Amino acid sequence: PDMKVDLEETKAKIKRKKTTSSLQYESLDEEMEEAKHYCSILKAYANYPSHCFQIFNKLESDFNSIPKIQRNLIPAFDKKLKTMRACVGANQVFIRKILNHDHVFMSSSRINYDWVLRQNTQIKPGNMDKVKSTLRQCMRDWSVDGKAERDMCYGPIIKEIERLYPKPSPSTRILVPGCGLARLVW
């Protein structure tokens, strides 16, 4: 039998049996909330291109609604917009690679992630901002294009570490706070 069930089914079973402790009941609630949060992030990543293209379409519409004399002040607008759309396409290729591994975090056998993903929930604007921020951080921290910014951000820190520990021993440990994307540790 399929062990994955939605939250309401699970709550009903627990109430009927009355053999489950309140600690486990709370744990399932917490697990479901975590699943909802995770799935909302997945939805934000999946909707990144349509979100960006909506913004670009409005920008283009607004630009085309101003008088031609003012549009002429920004002669490269169409080229810039075309480049931005191409960048979103490239970002989406990268995002798809991330989403192909979504199962890594869907580890609970008690949660039906497909059911959670199908829930008609709004994507929070803050989650779209997080997607964009994560893309910027990945570009800065891992790409050739991000080298100059990476050197500016991390260069002084690395130089200071090298000054303090010119010959580090295997027991030398350095705390890297806020290292969500494994920045610096590599």
Indicate whether this model's pTM tops 0.85.
no
Q: At what angle do helices 125-142 and 48-65 cross, to 10 degrees?
A: 100
Q: Is 4 exposed, middle or buried (0-12, 13-18, 19+ CB in 10 A)?
A: middle
Token pair belonging to 149: 């910014």
- Say what the pLDDT of residue 136 is: 92
DSSP-assigned letter for residue 123:
P
Q: Is 5 helix (H, G, I), strand (E, B) or coil?
A: strand
- Nearest 5°: the CA angle 170, 171, 175 is 110
Alpha-carbon span 178 to 157, nearest angstrom: 14
Q: At what angle do helices 48-65 and 22-46 cross, to 10 degrees?
A: 40
* 10-residue stretch averages of pLDDT, the chain, 186 residues long: 46 44 55 82 89 95 95 94 95 88 70 75 86 91 91 90 91 74 54
Across-strand partners of 5?
A: 111
- Say what the pLDDT of residue 34 is: 80
Alpha-carbon span 92 to 152, nearest angstrom: 27
Are the CB atoms for 181 and 138 separated by under 8 Å? Answer: yes
HSE value, Cβ hemisphere, 13 Å, CA-based, for 18: 1
- Say what the pLDDT of residue 105 is: 66
Alpha-carbon span 22 to 34, nearest angstrom: 18
Q: What are phi and psi of 111, to 5 degrees?
A: -115, 135
Measuring CA to CA, which residue among 138, 153, 126 is closest to residue 90? 138
